[in-house]
Structure 1
């Protein structure tokens, strides 16, 4: 699987840990930065990564900032992005199963590396549920997205 990754200065270290893990599992990681811990603007890195997922250039995204919500707010402005903030593996499981989330956002100031890795593992291995009620709900969210978000060019 091809994974888009991005971060701000607060998420640099955690991003590199996750990136190494993903690559060790055979995934291709496209790193949109930031590449160091110099203060930076999150949107400069999250937007291009989210666009890559929305355009199908990457299969999923994993974005790391201080709390996770900044990444999710930016990413969810892009048509076709369904970003979730997860602080434990159970949330990651439900975000994938019930909502077919395609971007995981993590807060490096909120969770440590060990829990982040368990969240990533769960996010990567969990498939959406196929029962009618879940498919119906996901399609409703996709319809809202299609009606109210500008398509990606």
Structure 2
């Protein structure tokens, strides 16, 4: 699977560990930066990575910043992206099963690499629930909101 990754300085080290693990599992990772622990602006890296997912250049995105919320705020402003902040494997499972999230956001200041890798593993290996009407209905409602309020990249 093709994965777009991005981080700011607070998520740089954890992003590297996750990238290494993903590649060891056979995934193709495109790293949109940052490339160091020097202070930087998160949108400079998460926005281009988000666009790669939206364009279909990557199937999913994994973004790491200090707590995860900054990345999610950016990604969820892009048509076609559903970003979830997960701080444990249970949340990662539900983020895939219940919302079909295609972007995982993690907090490098909140969780260590051991739990982060567990979260990524669960998120990568969990499919959305497609045979229970209430989950399908809810995902459709969220997509309808995007259709109403967000522009497709082809329209920009």
Matches of 2:153 and 2:113, distance apart in 1: 33
The structure 1 segments of at least 4 consecutive aligned residues displaced by more than 2 Å after TM superposition are none
Aligned to 1:146: 147
Aligned to 1:67: 67
Gaps of 5+ in 2: none
Shift of 1:135: 1.1
Q: TM-score, normalised by structure 1?
A: 0.98
Aligned to 1:112: 112
Aligned to 1:2: 2
Aligned to 2:31: 31
CA RMSD of aligned residues (A): 0.6
Matches of 1:36 and 1:11, distance apart in 2: 10
Q: TM-score, normalised by structure 2?
A: 0.97
Give the total of aligned pairs: 153
Matches of residues 122-141 of structure 1 in structure 2 within 5 Å?
122-130=122-130, 131-141=132-142
Shift of 1:68: 0.4
Aligned to 2:57: 57
* Residue-by-residue CA offset, 1:93-121 (whole Å, 9 max, x unaligned): 00000000000000000011100000000
Gaps of 5+ in 1: none
